[in-house]
Amino acid sequence: MSEPMCPTCHDVPTPLPITVSIVASNEAHNLPRCLASVRGWVTDVVVVINHCTDRTADVAREHGAVVHETEWRGYRDTKNWALDRCTQPWALCLDADEAVSTGMRRAIEEFFARGDHERFAGAEFARRSWFLNRWIRHGDWYPDRLLRLVKMGAGEWGDDPAHSRIVMSGGAVSRLSGDLLHFPFPDMKTFMWKSVRQSDDFVQIQSARGRRWRLGETILRPIWRFVRAYLLRLGFLDGFPGLYIAWSTCFVTFLRYSRLYERERHRPPPVTLA
């Protein structure tokens, strides 16, 4: 893997006024990489856990994080609950399967050194994912820009409860260099399992919005997603992993809209057979 996260941070004389905010459940295998990437150059780390059956809490404490436990409130509300526990003027919001690259850390340090933290209320980064033994640099997965560094009080997690992003309430957002590293799927099976599980969230959200099933949408949207990811966004340059991602996204999109059909036409089976 090229450009790993920063293993040590002894060259930073003073930690930046940042609290790292992480929500984790059964993430003992991912947390060491995530926490090592921020060790020494931020002021503190808050890890909010829920329903853990592994060593997530112990691993977090071993790496110097402050651990809070709460019930699961959904992605959006749990992440906002974690954000409320931050103690510094700025928060860096990470997932347990993410890590700060050397380039991203350098960009954040320069952001504060230039005084940009006085002019901006947030900063966004490109997120680069590791899948099938390579970095994915094209298609729908990259650059996947995300707002993750935010001044306290200037933004919070919003949008859909299932796929929340930070929404700013005021202030300008800077776009910084350096990638946020993402390790979402250890294998194809996990990728498909998570994608199918997320179709539950899709059906729930669309139902709440009163969205109806449409045949044209069910056919055309999957085709468009493949063409966009594989051809227009150059997913083919990522080799077979790029093809797998584009084709799987096509299938998952078809599954999601097909499940709207299932929801609308679901009926209990007949009690007696004719």
Asked if 154 contacts 171 with a C-beta cutoff of 8 angstroms, the reply is yes
The domain containing residue 36 runs over which residues?
16-182
Do 106 and 81 share a domain, yes or no? yes
Residue 3 included in any domain: no
Q: Which of 41-45, 52-56, 71-75, 226-230 has the lowest mean pLDDT?
A: 71-75
Residue 9 included in any domain: no
Q: What is the mean pLDDT of residues 1-22?
A: 67
Q: What is the mean pLDDT of residues 9-30?
A: 85
Tokens of 74: 């959904």
pLDDT of residue 44 exceeding 50, the answer is yes
> How far separated are the first and last CA of the chain, in Å rounded?
62
Do 197 and 172 share a domain, yes or no? no
Do 243 and 163 share a domain, yes or no? no
Percent of the chain with pLDDT over 90: 80
Predicted local distance difference test score (pLDDT) of residue 28: 97
Residue 213 included in any domain: yes
**Which of 182, 204, 222 is where one domain is finished?**
182
For 163, residues 6+ apart whose C-beta sits below 8 A from its C-beta are 75, 198, 201
Predicted local distance difference test score (pLDDT) of residue 159: 76
For 272, residues 6+ apart whose C-beta sits below 8 A from its C-beta are none
Distance CA 18, CA 45 (A): 8
DSSP output for 125-169 = EEEEEEETTEEE-SGGGSS--EEEEEETTSEEEES-SSS-EEEES
Predicted local distance difference test score (pLDDT) of residue 274: 62
Do 126 and 245 share a domain, yes or no? no
Q: What is the mean pLDDT of residues 80-109?
A: 98
- Residue 206 banded pLDDT, cuts 50, 70, 90: confident
Do 259 and 153 share a domain, yes or no? no
Do 38 and 143 share a domain, yes or no? yes
Q: Which of 5-9, 146-150, 219-223, 238-242 has the lowest mean pLDDT?
A: 5-9
Do 138 and 208 share a domain, yes or no? no
**Which of 182, 212, 233 is where one domain is finished?**
182
Please count the structural domains in the chain: 2
- For the entire predicted model, the pTM comes to 0.88
Predicted local distance difference test score (pLDDT) of residue 10: 42
Residue 41 included in any domain: yes
Closest CA to 53 of 27, 79, 74, 21: 27
Q: Residue 115: which CATH number?
A: 3.90.550.10
Residue 55 included in any domain: yes
Predicted local distance difference test score (pLDDT) of residue 13: 53
Distance CA 233, CA 223 (A): 14
Do 148 and 46 share a domain, yes or no? yes
Q: What is the mean pLDDT of residues 84-108?
A: 98
pLDDT of residue 88 exceeding 90, the answer is yes
Tokens of 245: 């991602």
H helix or E strand, kind and range, residue 226: helix 215-226
